[in-house]
Amino acid sequence: MTRELALSVTDVSKRFTLPHERITTVKSLFTGLVKRQSKIVNETQHALQDISFEVERGEFFGIVGRNGSGKSTLLKIMAGIYRPSTGSVVKTGRLVPFIELGVGFNPELTGRENVYLNGAMLGFSAREIEALYSDIVEFAELERFMDQKLKNYSSGMQVRLAFSMATRAKTDILLIDEVLAVGDADFQRKCFDYFKSLKKQNVTVVFVTHDMSAVREHCDRAMLIEDSRIVSIGDTDMITKQYFELFHLPAPALHSDENGAEAEVEAEAEAEAEAQHPQVVEQAEEPAPKRWGSMKAAFTSIDLSSSRVTDADDTISITCTAEAKESVEDAVFGFMIRNASGQPILGTNTEIKGQRPMSLAEGQKVVVRWSVPNVFNEGLHWLEPAIVHNGGGDVCDWWQEAASFTVVRQERTPYIVSPAIDLVIEKGQG
Amino acid sequence: MTIRPGAGQATQGSAQVAVADGPPATETSTKRSRGLAGPKRQNLFDRYRYPFILLGRLVRTDFKLRYHGSALGYLWSLLRPLFLFVVLYFVFARFLKLGAGIPHFPQYLLLGIVLWNYFAEVTANSIAAIVGKGDLLRKIDFPKYVIILAGSFSAFINLLLNLAVLGVFLAVGRVHVGWNALLIVPLIAELFVFGLALSFVLSALYVRFRDVAFIWEVFMQAAFYATPILYSVSFVPQSIAQLQFLSPMAQIIQDARYVLVTDQTQTIYDVYDGRVWVWLVPLAVCLVSVILAATYFRSRSKYFAEEI
């Protein structure tokens, strides 16, 4: 069988120019001219640099990367929403992007009218939609609601309708942003069934996600983007591994044409970048650790037994060292562990464990050691320790994303946790 | 191992979306209707199928939402010009007696105001049209001019309804309407094109400079009085009138009045002492502006998604 290219991206770069004072009014255009002496630096944000790859017909191709790596920008360039600064994208056949479900949905229109509207956005004529209408409604399970205004739909109903529309899109190439990875378990199952049916129809799919299990399950190949460049392209196991390894590297610096620009300038440009292109530039770096509280007693160090956890590890030990800067009554220590998508998975505190609240004298040091069974599923996890007092009413120190560890598993399940599960099969006489 | 799209491979029914893109319509279906066809040239039907579908849907949606939430709904499209007529009749024809010497003055006024209102509505709505659809622009690639066209058609439907009401008043007022009334069709076409030209420029400018909205508002106030709508052309000195008629709006309104309401009014032909060729001036203004505007809009439209 000859291989046919569906999508070919050649040397694509994308730069966003971020003037320090963005000229949005005619006045600032003039005042900007006057103030020239106060060196207005045009920061250039390289959202993508020298991206080249090819996707074959019928292939499921994953694009992964951290927030701000440039993957969403790449998707938008492939979709024709942004123009590349240099380079070209050649696509063979019809391409439909799903940056978002239900593009063009209007809350003031009825479900029926929205079907026609969204259908038009996807390129369906009114006659084509009429032919598909009953299928769409049936699939969305919304027969009774089609003459109600969309604003009266629950968000679940809206997503169902939008997804039902999306599955009708006749296309050769489908670009999917993470949007399809939201929703409840039932919806997820529908999505996965849909992906499988796409595979049978030889549709090419480019899939942008954070969800490594989805990449493993659906993609034939994947590409890792970091810091606006391609890190590697290859089989999904390798890419997944490299993705998790990224989180142990120091956060990348913002790229800038002005090498002499000060750190402050960069931070400013970044904030601006976010304001102007909220979906493009996202965040150029991982957010700084979020931490709050009175700091009467505060953590001085957080240690994990290992930052890389495998099947071989039965437990993960967490050592939290804290020091009281003032005397604190009734202090309770606790922690929570969240997965990469921010979902809390488990946690406890000294009170739940039957310990009396502690009284700490000024300058007193406390070491709290937790030993947590390794029930975690694959991926990055964040530790969120806290010290509270006065019955939990006052926060001394609450530290989001204080430390992280990455779990690598042989057995893969699509669930939140993945504890060791024993299996016994007893076969009767057959 | 990957395959480079060599010169031979890329030709098979492929759609280029590259740096310097041509027409904004890249979202066409080359394969769907014809299967795996050879490297045929896209015919017009295929090329404009998507914009056409989209345009129809956007106009319908706009029309549906226009009077949404109001009890009388679409009836307002007819009631508005009706009430306007009543006001004009009492204020200008009866009370101020501005229409001395002009037969059917209320109809004359209503026609002028209806045409001007179309122009004002279409340009005012267009300003924020692109920015207002920003959410859509960032999610899907579609020909942006469709947004502007849809706005124009939507206002155009309204204009036709207003003209229908005017027709009733012409009949009630026993205004003699001859065959030359058909000349209203090219005049309205001219109005549509001129409105479109300004819509393209204003909407594209507004993406970068938000002051455009305020500047245009003030400009339109001035333009309303600079155009002979409320007053007769004979009130102004001829040299000023000659300047006024360089604007297609003055020419369109006066010509429309001439063909529909009364020949007792001055057109560009009269103001320029019966030179026929002067009609070419506002026509040229109209055509040149629409070409320039569409070119500007097209060159900017590639960057709308990033700049909004």
Give pLDDT tens digits for B118-166: 999 999 999 999 999 988 898 889 999 999 999 999 999 999 999 999 9
Please give chain A's pLDDT, 430 residues, in tens.
457 889 999 999 998 876 555 555 666 666 655 555 444 556 778 889 999 999 999 899 999 988 888 888 999 999 999 999 999 999 988 888 888 888 888 888 999 999 999 999 988 999 999 999 999 998 888 889 999 999 999 888 888 898 888 888 888 898 988 755 566 667 777 777 887 788 888 899 998 887 777 788 788 999 999 888 999 999 988 888 888 777 764 433 334 333 433 333 344 444 444 444 443 333 334 444 478 888 889 998 888 888 888 888 888 999 999 999 888 888 999 999 988 777 889 999 998 898 888 888 988 999 999 999 999 988 888 899 999 988 777 888 988 888 888 888 877 777 888 888 889 999 888 7
In chain A, list all ranges with CATH 3.40.50.300: 5-11+53-246
ipTM metric:
0.79
Nearest to B61 among A8, A26, A106 (CB): A106
Domain edges within chain B: 44-301
Residues (pLDDT < 50) of chain B are 1-40
Q: What whole-number distance in Å separates Cα of residue A410 and Cα of residue A247? A: 20
pLDDT tens per residue across span A1-52: 457 889 999 999 998 876 555 555 666 666 655 555 444 556 778 889 999 9
Q: What whole-number distance in Å separates Cα of residue A72 and Cα of residue A232? A: 17
In chain A, list all ranges with CATH 2.70.50.60: 290-407
Chain B's closest residue to A78, CA to CA, is: B17
Q: Which helix (H) or strand (E) holds A233?
A: strand A229-234
Tell which residue, B125, B136, B144, has the closest CA to residue B202. Answer: B125
The neighbour count for residue A343, using CB atoms within 10 Å, is 9
Beta-bridged to residue A232, according to DSSP, are A224
In chain A, which residues have their Cβ closer than 8 Å to the Cβ of B306? 16, 82, 277, 280
Overall size of chain B counted in residues: 308
0.80 exceeded by the pTM?
Answer: no
Yes or no: say if B150 and B55 are a contact pair by the CB < 8 Å rule. Answer: yes
In chain A, which residues have their Cβ closer than 8 Å to the Cβ of B215? 26
Query: Which pair of tokens denotes residue A242?
Result: 């490299």
Is the Cβ pair A94, B306 closer than 8 Å?
no
Is the Cβ pair A100, B12 closer than 8 Å?
no
Is the Cβ pair B56, A100 closer than 8 Å?
no
Residue with tokens 């957080």: A302
Mention the CATH class of domain A290-407: mainly beta
Beta-bridged to residue A175, according to DSSP, are A97, A206
**What pLDDT is stored for residue A185 in this prediction?**
67
Specify the CATH superfamily of domain A5-11+53-246. P-loop containing nucleotide triphosphate hydrolases (3.40.50.300)
Is the Cβ pair A117, B29 closer than 8 Å?
no
**What pLDDT is stored for residue A179 in this prediction?**
58
Amino acid at B171: A
SS3 A14: strand
Query: Could you give the residue ranges of the DSSP H alpha helices within A252-398?
Result: 263-276
CA dihedral angle for residue B263, residue B269, residue B273, residue B278, rounded to 10 degrees = 180
In chain B, which residues have their Cβ closer than 8 Å to the Cβ of A81? 137-141, 305
SS3 B94: helix
Is the Cβ pair B140, A103 closer than 8 Å?
yes
